[in-house]
């Protein structure tokens, strides 16, 4: 509830948000940039988006662990709900309010947030549906299956 309240209060005031990585994730994203090479994703995403997709794929536990969505997942869905957009930087992922939604601060309420979480699959929890919502939020509607695709691909490689 504390994280939910933080997201709602920050959104109501038009605050910007930045992802805080732990040491392992920070080292990983730096290594991804150092090893970065052309891939099929680059035809779809910007270089910064491709690097962050790879980080999320390699560290799925940032979003999901033991069959349960992480707090970060709820925070992303909250930012999506309240009209924020992602800005990808080489070593930082930030979120800013879309100008059209900032004027609708009265719509930032707990009921709207809970409805959005439920519609996104959080009540079940439905991993595929939740990851689809996060893909839409981070990478756009045309890439709605991106996280699910790479998570499945990564699982296949790990089990081989």
Residue range 112-150, pLDDT digits in tens = 999 999 999 999 999 999 999 999 999 999 999 999 999
Question: Quick one: tokens of 107?
Answer: 């719509």
Sheet strand arrangement including 84-88: 17-18, 93-97, 84-88
Q: Do the Cβ atoms of 88 and 140 come closer than 8 Å?
A: no
**pLDDT confidence tier of residue 38, bands split at 50, 70 and 90:** very low
Pick the closest to residue 63 from 6, 140, 146, 1 (CA basis): 146
Q: How far apart are CA 50 and CA 41, in angstroms?
A: 6
Check residue 154 and give its pLDDT: 79
**pLDDT confidence tier of residue 43, bands split at 50, 70 and 90:** low
- For tokens 């890439």, what's the residue? 143
- In this structure, the number of other CB atoms found within 10 A of the CB of residue 19 comes to 17
Instruction: Kindly list the distances between the CA atom of residue 12 and the CA atoms of 27, 74, 90, in Å, as whole numbers in the listed order.
Output: 33, 17, 28
Whether 18 has a pLDDT exceeding 90, the answer reads yes
Q: Do the Cβ atoms of 143 and 45 come closer than 8 Å?
A: yes
pLDDT in tens, 81-112: 999 999 999 889 999 998 754 556 667 889 99
């Amino acid at each position: 509830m504390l994280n939910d309240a933080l997201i709602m209060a920050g959104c109501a005031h038009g605050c910007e948000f930045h992802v805080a990585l732990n040491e392992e994730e920070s080292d990983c994203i730096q290594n991804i940039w150092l090893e970065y090479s052309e891939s099929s994703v680059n035809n779809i995403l910007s270089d910064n988006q491709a690097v962050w997709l790879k980080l999320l794929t390699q560290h799925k536990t940032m979003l999901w662990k033991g069959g349960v969505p992480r707090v970060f997942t709820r925070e992303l869905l909250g930012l999506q709900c309240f009209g924020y957009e992602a800005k990808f930087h080489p070593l930082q992922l930030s979120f800013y309010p879309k100008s059209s939604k900032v004027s609708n601060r009265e719509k930032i309420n707990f009921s709207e947030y809970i409805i959005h979480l439920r519609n996104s699959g959080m009540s079940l929890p439905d991993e595929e549906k939740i990851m689809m919502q996060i893909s839409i939020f981070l990478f756009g509607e045309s890439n709605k299956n991106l996280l699910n695709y790479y998570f499945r691909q990564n699982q296949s490689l790990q089990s081989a």
